[in-house]
Amino acid sequence: MAEMMAQGKEPEILFWVGCAGSFDERAQRITRDICKILSHVGISFAVLGTEEACTGDPAKRAGNEFLFQMQAMMNIQVLNGYNIKKIVTGCPHCFNTIKNEYPGLGGNYEVIHHTQLIQQLIDEGKLKAEGGESFKGKRITYHDPCYLGRGNDVYEAPRKALEVLDADLVEMKRCRSNGLCCGAGGAQMFKEPEKGNKDINIERMSDVLESKATVVAAACPFCMTMLRDGVKLSEKEKEIEVLDIAEITARANGL
């Protein structure tokens, strides 16, 4: 972003990568695929790079409002400094926080999640599912991230992105507004779970197995981690693949 600014250019959209997308090795692949999609359709975009910092989401959900607002105000300063108008995020938690909680602190942007961008591009005819890997007939199920689905009522966009694949799409028993959490939200990602009789991602695996899907589509880097751990612990790594909607889209288009 700093480079673009120096060249006097303004990007159409800012890609908010998020901490998982920046540091988590598995999520970095999703980040790169989102970039490939943006380049493929010719959207000029920028990232903040080292100027980006945690939105404060995990701090806020854990009750640390001070830390959240510190992060939020510093990020808003950077975003407003670059005159950012439109943001696409790679993570539903960043999406929710910037879209819903930043305006009250002076950060007003048009914020979309990457699955919404993919849906828009498909609707506009700019993105198809051709020239790459065929998902035809593959049994795919979609896991709703809480902060995209229930949190912000985004249920259709990720599904639209899968519909173009001509795959065998199945829903899990608990889906859409009834979707079961992966277990990572509310800062659970950063702590051990409380005592119980099983982990939440194992409970979610029973839905995945029941659906008989061979691909679980995710739209959140934390869900990705939890679902992959669930697949590993169920010893289904050979049968079931967990892929982000962005990865599926990139693969289907040979990017």
Interface positions with another protein (CB under 8 A): 17, 19, 21-23, 28, 31-32, 47, 49-50, 52-54, 56, 58-67, 69-71, 73-74, 96, 100-101, 104-105, 146-147, 150-153, 177-181, 183-200, 202-203
| Rounded CA separation 155/235 (Å) | 29
CB of 135 to another protein, least distance (A): 25
> Judged by CB, which is closer to another protein: 35, or 215?
35
User: Is the C-alpha dihedral spanning 170, 173, 179, 183 positive or negative?
Assistant: negative
Residues 201, 227: contact at Cβ < 8 Å? yes
> Judged by CB, which is closer to another protein: 47, or 129?
47
> Judged by CB, which is closer to another protein: 13, or 21?
21
Specify the residue for token string 């909607």: 245
> Judged by CB, which is closer to another protein: 123, or 153?
153
> Judged by CB, which is closer to another protein: 188, or 249?
188
3-state secondary structure of 180: coil
CB of 179 to another protein, least distance (A): 8
CB of 167 to another protein, least distance (A): 27
CB of 128 to another protein, least distance (A): 26
CA dist 178 → 141, 149, 156, 189 (Å)? 15, 9, 14, 21
CB of 139 to another protein, least distance (A): 25
- Provide the CA 53 distance to its chain's centre, in angstroms: 17
CB of 176 to another protein, least distance (A): 10
Task: Strands of the chain (E only): list them.
Answer: 13-16, 45-46, 86-89, 110-113, 139-142, 168-170, 215-218, 241-244
Task: Strands of 29-163 (E only): list them.
Answer: 45-46, 86-89, 110-113, 139-142
Q: Which of the 8 DSSP states describes residue 153?
A: -
| Rounded CA separation 226/246 (Å) | 18
Phi, psi of 219 (to 5 degrees): -140, 20
3-state secondary structure of 192: coil
| Rounded CA separation 16/66 (Å) | 22
> Judged by CB, which is closer to another protein: 43, or 164?
43
CB of 207 to another protein, least distance (A): 11
> Judged by CB, which is closer to another protein: 181, or 217?
181
